[in-house]
Structure formats: C-alpha cells, structure tokens
Chains A and B, each alone.
Chain A
Amino acid sequence: MPVTMRRFGDLALAAALLLGLLGVGVAGTHLQRELAAAATALVPSRPPDLLGPITEAGRSGWQCVPEAQAAARSWRDAALPDPEH
C-alpha cells in the first residue's frame, strides 16, 4: 500500500517562479531571467512512496511484498513513481 507524500520539488519550483517574477518586475520582461528561473526549476522527480506495511509474520519469506519491492530490479516491481499516474 503506497503512502502518499507531498511532492518534493514544488517548493523549489515555487521559489524559482518567484525569483523569475521578481526579475520580470525589476528589469522588465527579460527572457534570460525567466530562463534562469526555469533552469532552477529543473528539479528531480519526486521521492518514492514508502513501501507498505508488513504483517506480524515478518519480512522473511516470499509473501513479503515490501521486501520483494525493495530488492526488485524492475521499476514497476519496485513500485517507483510513474510520471503519468
């Protein structure tokens, strides 16, 4: 069961936008300032949701889904973020 978390990077993006808008206000419309803001906005993707809970039986055994997800080679099996969902 994934645990929804707040999106990482939104703060950086907001700060970048604010800087960009301030730049526009001070120096007028200026592509370089906008681009500087956008370049700062090149933030990495968000951290993965946490792996889900485990029953009292513990992590050992093939039934433990979170433990298998932690070791999985495939991004889908690892329950990593999907940019379109």
Chain B
Amino acid sequence: MNKQSIQPEARNHSNADGKVVPKFIRRSIFALSIDDPQLEQKAYASWADAIILDFTKALGRDWQADLKNRMPAAICAAATGGAEIFIRINQDFSLAELDATVFTGISGVVLKSVKEPEDIVTVSQCLDALEVSRGIETGFLEIDVEVDKAGAVWHSLEIARASQRFGIFLINEHALSSDLGMQSEPELDFDPLEYIKSQLITVATSVGGQALGMSYPLSLTQENVSGDALETAVRRARDTGFKGAVCPHASWIKFCNEGFRPSTDEADYYVKVIEVFAEGLSRGMASVPLEGKMIDVPVDVRAKVYLNWADRAQARDQAKAQAHEKESS
C-alpha cells in the first residue's frame, strides 16, 4: 500500500483535542532587514517558511513616517518566495513601532523584550485598531513572542493565555542566557536551558501554539556548521518538541525545512501503521504487531497525526515552489 492509498479521512487527522500538530508549518524563520538593498533577492533565494523583518529608525527625521512609506514595499519584496512575513517589534516601544510597520501582507508580529502578560494585552488591543484602520481581517494578526527575558519564561503560561492572537514562542537563547547571567560560551556537556525549553514547548502546546528553537550548543553558538552537524542538531531539536528554528544563516534553512517534519521514511512507516492497525481492527483486534512493536490506538492516532503533518509540510513546500515559479515567469 503506498501513501496515496490511505483514505483522506485517515490522512486529515487532528489530535484528540481537535487541533492539528503542529499548528503552523514554520520550520525555518529567516531574519532580514528592510534596509538591506538585496532584501527581495535574499528572501526569494532563502526558501524560508517565514521571514522576520527588522528595521532601523531613521535618525534626524520622522522615523514613523519613513517606515510607513517603506514598509508596504518591503513586505511585498520579502514575500516573493512564498514566505509568511512577520515584523519584529520591541515591546518597549511597541505602540509606535506597530503603527509604523503593520500593513496588509504580514501574518503577525514578533515581540521581543516581553516581560509580562500585560505586554501582550496592550499589543493585542493595538492590533485590534490597526486591523480596522488598515483593512486587515479582524483577529488575523498573530502575536509571537521572542523569549529573551527571564520574565517571559516565568510568566510564560500567562503570556500564552493573554491573547487569542498568541502563536509561537521563539527562543533567543543568546539573549536569554545573557539576561539570566549565564556564560555565552557553550562549555557545558549538558543543555543548561533544557528545563526552560521544555517549559516553553509545553506551555505553547497547551494553548494550541508551538515553540521554535535549536538544540544546544548550536542554539548558543549560532555557527554555520556542516550539514551533518546541522542535521543532527535539528533532529534533536525536533525530538525536544521544537517545530522549527530561527536561522542565523541561510545555509540552515534547507536543513530546518527537511528536519522539522516527519521524514519520507517516517511517513512510509506511518502508512504501514495505519494499514496494519485498520486490518487488525477489522478482525476485532485492538493491538497488532509491526516490525517488533505493538500498534494500538495511540500509535495509530500518532501515525495519522504525523502523516497529516508530513502532508502539510509537503503542501507548504509546493506553495513556495509555486511562488517561485510565478515570480520567475
């Protein structure tokens, strides 16, 4: 039985709580500056699932007016490769920055320097108004949180629950380590943030969101390492529960796109699981063996959920490919 012969209802499977896993296919996030003259080319060539736009505030003139002028075109340019677009906002100046940067074409904002849930409430209320004034569907814009402060970890559950707009925790391990007073050199043989990472993954999942991050020590060094090393690091990050990573180098993107999803081999195995279990059920069996392991209801559910994940990742790749074709033609 090949993958295509699984019935649609078996492939389009959500978790027990009715939510798909993961909520978003955002395996690779790439940050680019709107001031970069090669913004469009870099965005197009990156194949990132999402792009975060950073900006600088012009000195000696009205920076808000300047950004308002430039941002719509920058959003269009960044989206040419089919990536979702987010704007990175500093919580400390959030209202002014939001007003200057939120336009049609973005999926949401990434807030940094968040310390407490009230920060999210304030931004959410601001987005309510901006959606109306700028012709964006009400409630559409997402709030993602870049975790770079101890307060964001400590209040993570309240932050995630502060607004329906919450989507993702992105762990900025370098900044967080600094805020916690930890060494920036990865000299330990264990991950000192293991518990915090697990906390953010669990909390984000509990509200139907997800967390993005990388495994230690690459999470801290952010090095441009070899493919094998990156592949191993991504696998561990995925096994930790991360659904993607912010890529400091364009070279990371391919490995994140391939690694933060069930592999072809895994998808083939899930197909077998579904097939064998369905056959067992037809004989009145609640558990059946497959390659030395027992397949029962939770294993079958997992296979369907993860196969759906693989399908959605593939669809995301196809959508980006179409965007590239459209642009090149």
Do A and B come together as binding partners?
Answer: no
Q: Which residues of B contact A (CB under 8 A)?
A: none
Chain A positions near chain B (C-beta within 8 angstroms)? none
